Amino acid sequence: MQESLSKTNDLEEKQIEIQMAQQLIEEQDDQLLLTDLEMDIAKLDLAPDFAEQLEAFPLLKRMWAQIRQQIEETSEEGE
């Protein structure tokens, strides 16, 4: 009888160890996935391509040209 209980306890301990190992593996997989995602995001160029935006929006392009002209005129007057 005691031998049977001992085997049952051993079996339960092994099952608990297996569950803990599975949980650890899942957590490590999640961490690896997050790390990969962070690396992918870091590779992205999040800075906008201003020249491309100017081409897409003619009004913005004209406004930018006016701003540059005013800056040039102001800097020439300051000299």
What phi and psi values does residue 44 have, to the nearest 5 degrees? -70, 145
pTM of the model: 0.41
76 pLDDT exceeds 70? yes
Q: What is the pLDDT of residues 20-75, one digit of tens each?
A: 999 989 888 888 877 777 776 666 655 667 777 767 778 878 888 899 999 988 88
Of 68, 75, 38, 72, whose CA–CA distance to 50 is shortest?
A: 68
